[in-house]
Structure 1
Amino acid sequence: MNFASDNIVGVHPAILQALIDANAGPQAAYGEDEHTGQAVADLSAVFETDLEAFLVTTGTAANSLSLAAMAPPFGAVFCHEDAHIAVDECGAPEFFTGGAKLFGLPGPTGKITPETVTATLDGFVKGVHDPMPAAISITQATELGTLYTPAEIRALADLAHAHDMGLHMDGARFANALVSLGCSAAEMTWQAGVDILSFGGTKNGAMTLEVVTIFDPQLATDFNYRRMKAGQLLSKGRYLGAQLTAYLADDLWLANARHANAMATRLANGLAETEGVRLPLPTPANEVFPIMPRSVMERLHQSGAAFYEWPGNGPGTDSIGPDEAFVRLVCSFTTTTDEVDTFLELVATTAGQAA
């Protein structure tokens, strides 16, 4: 019963097999191999457009290098106050941009709006004493498991472009958002105005696979040098290319995400029927955020269930009482119905005892 993260599980067998197959014989180094070439072509087909794709090993690298392509050292990047780039990447975006300032903006469901960004921009009245607005970064799915619709993305993109800024999307859980919204990858990105996407695979069945996917060719200028200087150009790049090819083949990435989302829905539905537990947020992707009695959370942990108490005071106006806990549960492509049902039985029993 481990719902701590979708990072805790292993690699999908098809991707492991692809790595084994790619291991045979010599291949050109530094991403010039046949696997990487095929992977980039496959990615272009998925997004229905020509694009520039740079394979890296971590989401932090993908996000930080993406923002470095958009924001100068004197730039400003606007994001949600709980965004991964703001609170979980140890200052890497600031480091790789050479000092750009991140502005964390509020939003009750993990999302920012054009109105929130505009209100912040209206405070930039000091000329060169303020940093130069350079980028907006959004997370899809968000840190609270919610989703931006294509229309919401377009509204932020229009605002960004009207102020000569770029729009970056952190897509660590891109596949989970995509299958939930039922749109195409193109509709959720470049057709909605996204300039750079950090396309995530690691949380959804890959070993180490993130892709800086650039839709605006001007932003790809010199990006190879940025990746090299960051230590993210692998000499044996075939192992990244092989992962991406297998990840996209036969829509494996979408199937994995659909399964994870379905398990999260099953989990959320069961928790909603449990006395003393409430769900202040919808569960459109693979993360569930219940509020439960603190005594229940503690007993669940003592029983061996793994999940995190989530920081903050709860989403929106649904405040957390002094004897309550706001927690996060994450499902993955390996989560089973038995695992979910066993956990739900434990929650029900523990909640009953607490009552």
Structure 2
Amino acid sequence: MNFVSDNIVGASAPVMEALARANAGTMPAYGADEITRRIKARFAEIFEREVSIILVTTGTASNALALSSAVPPWGLCVCHREAHVIDDECGAPEFYMHGAKLIGLPGEGAKLSADTVRAYLDGLPRAAKQMPPKALSIAQATECGTVYRPDEIAHLSAVCRDHGMALHMDGARFVNALVSLGCTPAEMTWKQGVDILSFGATKNGCLMAEAVVVFRPDLAEALEHRTKRAGQIISKGRFISAQLEGYFAGDHWLDNARHANRMAGLLAEGLTRLPGIRLAWPAEANEVFPILPQTAADALRAAGAAFMGWTEASLPEGEKVGPDEALIRLVVSYATPEEEVRRFLDAARAALSRQAAE
């Protein structure tokens, strides 16, 4: 019963089969191969317009390179205070932005509201000593498993336009948010004003395949050179492209995310039916954040369940974790079997029953 993350599982069968096919014979290096050309065309189909694509191996590289194209060294990037780019990437965005700064703002469920961002920006002094805001970065889905609706993205984009900023989307769990909303990739990105996207695939069935998808041509101008300097233009680049070819074939990527989201829904529904357990935030993608008795969390670990504790920083107003409670994160993946979810729920039920009998 391992619910630590969705990147603990291997690659899906279609992805591995595509890699095996790409391994046969010889192909041009450094992204000049036919598979990479096909994948770039496929991204244009998926997003319903011409886009610039950079293929990389990690989400950190994708985020750092994307932000480096939008924020100069003297600039400021605004994000949520719990965003992955500010909390979990060891300063990589600042490093590749050559000294630019990230500033984190509060927001329930790790989501930023347009009002919060606007109030912060309007309060900044306009002087040479102040780093000017150049980009806003939002995560879709967020660190708390919540999802921005298209209209919320559009409102944030309007704030960016009013302040001359680019809008970046960290899409490590892009497709989980996509199937949750039931919209198209275009409707969740550039049609709402997103300028540049970090498109994640590793968490949803690939081995190591991410992409920077650029909707605003001026942001793409130097990105290839930045990518080379970052060591992310891979000589055998066809193996990134091949993963994505297997990933997209037959809507496999969407099917993977639908399964993961469905498992999260089962987990969330089952937990909230148990006495003494409530959700910190709605389960809108493939993560579930229950608040439960500490004794139950301990019993679940003793029963073999693996999961992470989580921060209370973005809890809804009026919600708090009691001294005898724990807030935990449960992440399901495309490969999580339903039986594993039901075993976890049975273990939670048994732990609560033992507690009630004591």
TM-score of the two chains, using structure 2 as the length reference: 0.98
Alignment match, 1:186 = 186
**Structure 1 residue matching 2:187: 3-state secondary structure:** coil
Question: Is 1:275–1:352's contact at 8 Å kept on the other side of the alignment?
Answer: no
Question: Is 1:314–1:320's contact at 8 Å kept on the other side of the alignment?
Answer: no
Question: Is 1:313–1:319's contact at 8 Å kept on the other side of the alignment?
Answer: no
Q: CA deviation at 1:246?
A: 1.2
Q: What do you get for the CA RMSD once the two structures are aligned?
A: 0.9
C-alpha distance in 1 between matches for 2:123 and 2:284: 34
Q: Which moved more, 1:280-289 or 1:259-268?
A: 280-289
Alignment match, 1:328 = 329
Alignment match, 1:28 = 28
Equivalences for residues 138-157 of structure 1 within 5 A: 138-157=138-157
Equivalences for residues 200-239 of structure 1 within 5 A: 200-239=200-239
Deviations 1:159-195 (A, max 9, x none): 1122111000000000000001010000000111000
Equivalences for residues 264-275 of structure 1 within 5 A: 264-275=264-275
C-alpha distance in 2 between matches for 1:124 and 1:239: 45
C-alpha distance in 1 between matches for 2:109 and 2:223: 33
- Unpaired runs of 5+ residues, structure 1, are none
Q: Which moved more, 1:110-119 or 1:51-60?
A: 110-119
Residue type of the partner of 1:318? E
Equivalences for residues 116-127 of structure 1 within 5 A: 116-127=116-127
Q: CA deviation at 1:126?
A: 4.7
Question: Is 2:109–2:314's contact at 8 Å kept on the other side of the alignment?
Answer: no
**Cα 1:151–1:116 shift into 2, 3 Å:** same
Residue type of the partner of 1:42? R
Alignment match, 2:11 = 11
C-alpha distance in 1 between matches for 2:137 and 2:83: 9
TM-score of the two chains, using structure 1 as the length reference: 0.99
Residue type of the partner of 1:115? D
Q: CA deviation at 1:301?
A: 0.9
Question: Is 2:311–2:327's contact at 8 Å kept on the other side of the alignment?
Answer: yes
Identity score, percent: 51
Deviations 1:57-85 (A, max 9, x none): 00000000000000011111110000000
Residue type of the partner of 2:287? E
Alignment match, 1:293 = 293
Residue type of the partner of 1:103? I
**Cα 1:314–1:133 shift into 2, 3 Å:** closer
Equivalences for residues 13-162 of structure 1 within 5 A: 13-162=13-162
**Structure 2 residue matching 1:127: 3-state secondary structure:** coil
- Unpaired runs of 5+ residues, structure 2, are none
C-alpha distance in 2 between matches for 1:231 and 1:128: 34
Question: Is 2:110–2:314's contact at 8 Å kept on the other side of the alignment?
Answer: no
**Structure 2 residue matching 1:186: 3-state secondary structure:** helix
C-alpha distance in 2 between matches for 1:122 and 1:175: 33
Q: CA deviation at 1:109?
A: 1.5
Residue type of the partner of 1:350? A
Question: Is 2:267–2:345's contact at 8 Å kept on the other side of the alignment?
Answer: yes
Deviations 1:290-329 (A, max 9, x none): 0001111111111110100112356112100011100000
**Structure 1 residue matching 2:72: 3-state secondary structure:** coil
Question: Is 2:271–2:278's contact at 8 Å kept on the other side of the alignment?
Answer: yes
**Structure 2 residue matching 1:109: 3-state secondary structure:** helix
**Structure 2 residue matching 1:129: 3-state secondary structure:** coil
**Structure 1 residue matching 2:108: 3-state secondary structure:** coil
Structure 1 runs (4+) greater than 4 angstroms displaced: none
Question: Is 1:313–1:320's contact at 8 Å kept on the other side of the alignment?
Answer: no
Q: CA deviation at 1:251?
A: 0.7
**Structure 2 residue matching 1:198: 3-state secondary structure:** strand
Residue type of the partner of 2:191? Q
